[in-house]
Structure 1
């Protein structure tokens, strides 16, 4: 028998001897990347991977704001001086209700223009009638009739222009002795949430500064900052749940109505607008809010683990999985958002896995050192 044959036979006999000496039913030796402990320390605690009740959850922070479709920041279209305040912050107003009065020469000029235009139109119409009668009696040429018709048409256009200006400004032509008084009125039903105007304050039509802000607070917008990685979980029409620190444990139902088109280069977030019904007006603009985007019916369920199970080195995340009693394995995971102390896991785990929530750093060090303990 050759030397090589003798070596092969010896190796076979040695393997058979080790197999025979191993107790029956013993688990196989740990594979690569698996730590086996004969005695698991008491401080090592595991918890199961859970399936979230709503598929595809994502959370974001945000801020409550006005519904800009039902908010009006009212400025003055005329220059003048505030002479009377007729609504205070907190007052509920109806559309067309007076908010404040301004003494304005521009208002008097607009009314005077209409009065002059109406007088010119009356004179032009009388002149046209007289010209037609004279032409019928062959006392004037036809060109005088044409000129009178032209003058009447111009006068009518001037009156329409003057009347339209008053309508745009909201000035009643029949103001009598108060021609210089311009009344600023509420453009919609709502609440006076802010009033910058003060008695005697000078206002300019070209300043653009609002004097009164009126808003309907029965519906509000929540602008949420959704991380770029979670955009795939957001869609227009999606249900959302809004919570605020002022009312712990209470949830306000909302709907996603808009997803921004730009990613903030500093925070890597996108603005997502959620409309929230607020009939009791308990939500207030500028409140901080937390928004949970709820997965659509039929969306795949997400997996979550306790936040304490995540081990991160700043670049990648991992968990320690208890593959069997006394055996542990490190697995890289891709993470989603955190909610109520649990983090959504996008990949790396399966339902039923057990992850280490206490003692993970010790097991990680043992795994990196290698070998059974």
Structure 2
């Protein structure tokens, strides 16, 4: 029990406590709450658009790919009710270097450069044949290449049958029978005699046992098929004439270029023989059937040759300035605007009513013309699309688990761009097992091994920015391709290898001739695409691994594949600039 004195002391302490609390609280006023401004966007850390696992407290370069880090801000950035939209503060837009361009209509002209060969115009070929059986006693044209004019004598033929026909005609003239005269004259005409020759028989009044064969057209003798003393029958070819005043040029166009090619389109031609001089022709014919081996379509250009400068079998370079076949200029966007993956093309459109808001939108693209893409569907004239920084916006959407280029449905996803050196959890790539590989003999497999080995040397050289080694390896691959004996292949394997071989040779040689490394890398991409097809279609040997890698940033974010014979990304398209940029996507030979 407390005593009366103890209770008094306790009450004093309680009173002092309440008094102290009142003073501290400032006379009973509520303590002010501390709150952040409503519309701030505080940058708290920085990340890489390609490697969102990288987080740093200040700006700089990504330690993996050396790309500039972008800000990850807290506040009003990224807040939008639309799952396909993202909102960036002015500071974030500036730091990410976001740039936009308008969607506009523009008259475009596609420039196609092709190589072809001159050929004789088939409609201007003439065969000089024997119209009557007999013996060639004299040839007036002794060698090929001679110019022949229409009506010029080319051969004298002895023919007993012709002697009989002339006697019939003279007899009809003596009888003065119009019916017999006309019938006899018709026979002589059918055996190749001209009106002047028939009139000469009539004026002479006697028959001759020789007929002079006249040239039915002008041209150059391209073939001489007879010799003096040779017996001929009706229809035997004596000469072949070609009128070279007009020639044909045969060119090949890939499927992607067919929309630009149409009959009547003018073509500018140049040759090695006449540097600085151009010739003009027009497309006359487009083959209705595509070549299944080269995936190209042949088309023919007719080119006038009045001075005879152009010769059949000459190689020519063709330049086509093609316009899209539309009634008004097409809708276009810069080529850097769309992010393309497979069949999908995504652009980020700036919201005209909300500053800093960008919306991802799938569109349908037409042909690429220079630095622009034609837009078929999905955009309207006057809208603004992001042309620089769109990949960073897309990466930010991936981080927020919103729909993006690589993840159209949204939701959590792994990084779109992994690296072999990073400890990222992922499903191991399984060795591919094509349903039906074309079987090839062991000798062909060994020859292909040399081709792949040279290819891997090119890949290594380009990944280390060594152009000279890449050129040497390109020469080695060219020699390896020449040593491949395709005669050991049968049926489908033979035809398939023949379709791949020109592409492989052309690009391997292009690497060997490259004067700058960018050209070598462009050729290497085409080389890689074809060699990946070879590795997947043929039963190649398992003497060395064959792994497929992909970099989505190569060639202006178009993406490109390549092969390696060892794990670990060594990017041949960027070299030291972004050596580890890419990921292994497939194992052909483990």
TM-score of the superposition, structure 2-length normalised? 0.40
| Cα distance in 2 for residues equivalent to 1:369 and 1:247 | 50
Greater relative contact order structure (CA < 8 Å, 6+ sep)? 1
Q: CA RMSD for the aligned pairs? A: 4.1
Change (3 A) 1:329 1:73: closer
- Equivalent in the alignment of 1:44: none
2:187 maps to which of 165, 175, 193: 165
Residue 110 (structure 1) shift: 2.5
- Equivalent in the alignment of 2:291: 264
Residue 248 (structure 1) shift: 5.1
- Equivalent in the alignment of 1:366: 581
What is the correspondence of 1:181-200 to structure 2 with a 5 Å cutoff?
A: 181-200=210-229
| Cα distance in 1 for residues equivalent to 2:52 and 2:272 | 44
Structure in which a larger fraction of residues adopt strand: 1
Residue 247 (structure 1) shift: 4.2
| Cα distance in 2 for residues equivalent to 1:34 and 1:75 | 83
Change (3 A) 1:223 1:184: farther
SS of 2:217's partner is: coil
For residues 256-283 of structure 1, the C-alpha deviation after alignment (integer angstroms, 9 at most, x for no partner) is 1111222233333333111112233221
What is the correspondence of 1:67-78 to structure 2 with a 5 Å cutoff?
A: 67-78=121-132
| Conserved 8 A contact 1:82-1:203 | yes
Quick check: 1:227 aligned with 2:254? yes
SS of 2:292's partner is: coil
Quick check: 1:203 aligned with 2:232? yes
Change (3 A) 1:20 1:192: closer
| Conserved 8 A contact 1:56-1:299 | no
Change (3 A) 1:119 1:273: same
SS of 1:81's partner is: strand
| Conserved 8 A contact 2:136-2:230 | yes
| Cα distance in 1 for residues equivalent to 2:553 and 2:307 | 48
Moved more, 281-290 or 361-370: 361-370
| Cα distance in 1 for residues equivalent to 2:250 and 2:240 | 20
Change (3 A) 1:196 1:20: closer
What is the correspondence of 1:123-138 to structure 2 with a 5 Å cutoff?
A: none
For residues 199-232 of structure 1, the C-alpha deviation after alignment (integer angstroms, 9 at most, x for no partner) is 112221144xx31122222221112233344222
| Cα distance in 2 for residues equivalent to 1:253 and 1:272 | 15
| Cα distance in 2 for residues equivalent to 1:109 and 1:33 | 101
| Conserved 8 A contact 1:320-1:363 | no
2:269 maps to which of 242, 245, 263: 242
1:275 maps to which of 302, 305, 311: 302
For residues 324-343 of structure 1, the C-alpha deviation after alignment (integer angstroms, 9 at most, x for no partner) is xxxx974348xxxxxxxxxx
| Cα distance in 2 for residues equivalent to 1:110 and 1:37 | 99
Q: Structure 1: which 5+ runs fail to align?
A: 1-12, 14-18, 42-52, 123-154, 323-327, 334-355
What is the correspondence of 1:2-41 to structure 2 with a 5 Å cutoff?
A: 22=45, 29-31=48-50, 37-38=62-63
| Cα distance in 2 for residues equivalent to 1:318 and 1:357 | 11
SS of 2:132's partner is: coil
SS of 1:258's partner is: strand
- Equivalent in the alignment of 2:461: none
- Equivalent in the alignment of 2:120: 66
| Cα distance in 1 for residues equivalent to 2:187 and 2:280 | 44
| Cα distance in 1 for residues equivalent to 2:262 and 2:584 | 46
- Equivalent in the alignment of 2:138: 84
Question: How many residues align structurally?
Answer: 277
2:178 maps to which of 156, 167, 173: 156
Residue 178 (structure 1) shift: 6.1
| Conserved 8 A contact 1:61-1:226 | no
Change (3 A) 1:96 1:238: same
| Conserved 8 A contact 1:55-1:299 | no
| Cα distance in 2 for residues equivalent to 1:180 and 1:34 | 101
SS of 2:288's partner is: coil
For residues 49-89 of structure 1, the C-alpha deviation after alignment (integer angstroms, 9 at most, x for no partner) is xxxx9822334443312223333121111111111122343
Residue 108 (structure 1) shift: 1.8
Quick check: 1:313 aligned with 2:380? no
Residue 238 (structure 1) shift: 0.4
2:109 maps to which of 15, 35, 55: 55
Change (3 A) 1:364 1:329: farther
SS of 1:183's partner is: strand
Change (3 A) 1:308 1:369: closer
TM-score of the superposition, structure 1-length normalised? 0.60
Change (3 A) 1:251 1:199: same
SS of 1:30's partner is: coil
| Cα distance in 1 for residues equivalent to 2:370 and 2:550 | 15
- Equivalent in the alignment of 1:341: none
SS of 1:366's partner is: coil
- Equivalent in the alignment of 2:450: none
Residue 20 (structure 1) shift: 6.0
